[in-house]
Chains A and B, each alone.
Chain A
């Protein structure tokens, strides 16, 4: 009998990450452009609101996970990002870049460690959104774009 070798897991995993990352890049592009649709708000306000939105998602995952320690840790981390977002509304726009880049790192860590259970495709998707938005904001700041009316 000819032995049948088991399929290597690596390509499957790469494929499972590739799809959410591509969707994340698409959503990130929309998010980076979203202040154009909300022209009556400061760009800093729009990006701060979206940072708060995505930062708090892990609270929901942690509550579904149910472990008190995970809920406490994730709520604290989300709280820190919301505070950073709040500071970014009126403070330097670099705070928002820091917030998005930092949250991307948090997504990366979650993808590697699976600290919170059941996050499925969210971490790679969110990391792609975060890092794309962080890069776009950094370029805008360097180019001298205004973040406040």
Chain B
């Protein structure tokens, strides 16, 4: 029926108006809940760190002759594996001295809820209190183009002007582009960002399907774990191929070779629906305690938070340790909730990097037993020559579902062809919440009109 026909029949117009109003209300309910869920997920990615964080650790004396690397941490949050992946790559080589810097003095939060105390501030470097960096690692940070990060962008530009190599990991390239450092250059980024970066920074030649792109002194990498490739490439360039091969072999990233830069170009696909559902309906997620122990590997720690929470949204992850701080294998100071009476309730306790429960602090083990928590060691079953993501993704598939494990691997640009994943096929919790929301939206949108029209 045409609009003119409806206008001649007021009853038809009324019915059409009711239907449109019902559909709008239905859509508004659905969109409102999904938007609220997305906000909850987004805020949970970078939860606020504790306010009683200890002061910065004393800077160790800088041995002469080492190549100085600094890993920049954003004031509002950084992707954990983007930052700590390259940190561990460089720290594993005696040719490098690595430290973290951040604007201000507060603790830095990483994706998924991990937090650490940065070793130095930007001002310390400017004042010459620490060695001038030869390499600056820039991970994906929250709000890269915002006004708040202008001092950080200026600081990175100054380091580039002084001849430092810049390594932009994942969406760290957005910060470099906002600083103008990529103008007229080739660069890459996380696969999900490239389309928007092309629109926003057309003066940059954005490239898909590359682990890393080198243009002069600036290297940019694909998503999350691609930063390890970029860092190893720089180790090879600055400390020699043999050293890069040695560190690469130790890490055992599947399919890594020093000169391998290509990777399958990823795009949004129907399989990403599981991730969209989890992000839009985060309520009733399980809470996973990530047990941190002294000497934990930086990649192991970051991977646990990124896989269980930051890059999957499958759970809420809480760092728990014997004390309020933990020193990693290469000297980073991580913050944690002390295992004691004030520790938050968790449904599981997963300890990354540990192969034997007997290595756990006795007080921590007692606390877990007292709370009825099994100490789960995903990496106890890690085969020699396996990268630390493998057992964690298997554990995610077993405790969440395989679709979530695959979408998390895709988000972190980690290959899964070699992985045997077992578990539920689909995330039923967010699916059930979506169905409930749709039912409620239909109830709100259409039943009241029906109740007005008809008598029972």
Chain A residues close to B by CB (< 8 Å): 19-20, 23-24, 45, 48-50, 52-57, 59-61, 63-64, 78, 82-83, 85-87, 89-90, 118-122, 125
Contacts and interface: CB of A to CB of B under 8 A. Distances in A.
A66 to B, nearest CB: 12
B284 A90 contact: yes
Contacts of B440: 52-53, 55-56, 59, 78, 82
B443 A57 contact: yes
B25 A86 contact: no
A57 B444 contact: yes
A122 B447 CA distance: 10
B197 interface: no
B261 interface: no
B330 interface: no
B347 to A, nearest CB: 13
Nearest to B284: A86
A53 B283 CA distance: 19
A57 B452 CA distance: 12
B456 A60 contact: no
B335 interface: no
A59 B25 contact: yes
Contact of A87 (B22, B284, B444, B447): B284
Contact of A45 (B432, B447, B455): B432
Given A82-B440, A90-B284, A56 B452 contact: no
Contacts of A78: 440, 444
Contacts of B446: 60
B16 interface: no
B38 interface: no
Interface of B: 21-22, 25, 29, 283-284, 429, 432-433, 435-437, 439-449, 451-452, 455-456
Contacts, number: 89
B284 A63 contact: no
A94 to B, nearest CB: 17
Which of A48, A59, A61 has the largest number of chain B CB atoms within 10 A?
A59
A63 B29 CA distance: 12
Contact of A55 (B22, B443, B455): B443
A23 B21 CA distance: 27
Contacts of B448: 57, 60-61, 63-64, 122
B451 A89 contact: no
22 contacts: A19-B455, A19-B456, A48-B432, A49-B435, A52-B439, A52-B440, A52-B443, A53-B442, A57-B451, A59-B25, A59-B29, A60-B22, A60-B443, A60-B444, A78-B440, A82-B440, A83-B283, A85-B436, A86-B433, A90-B284, A120-B452, A122-B448
Given A19-B455, A45-B432, A56-B444, 15 more contacts: A48-B436, A49-B435, A49-B436, A52-B439, A52-B440, A53-B439, A56-B443, A57-B451, A63-B25, A83-B283, A85-B436, A89-B436, A90-B432, A121-B451, A122-B448
Contacts of B443: 52-57, 59-60
Given A120-B451, A120-B452, A125-B456, A52 B429 contact: no
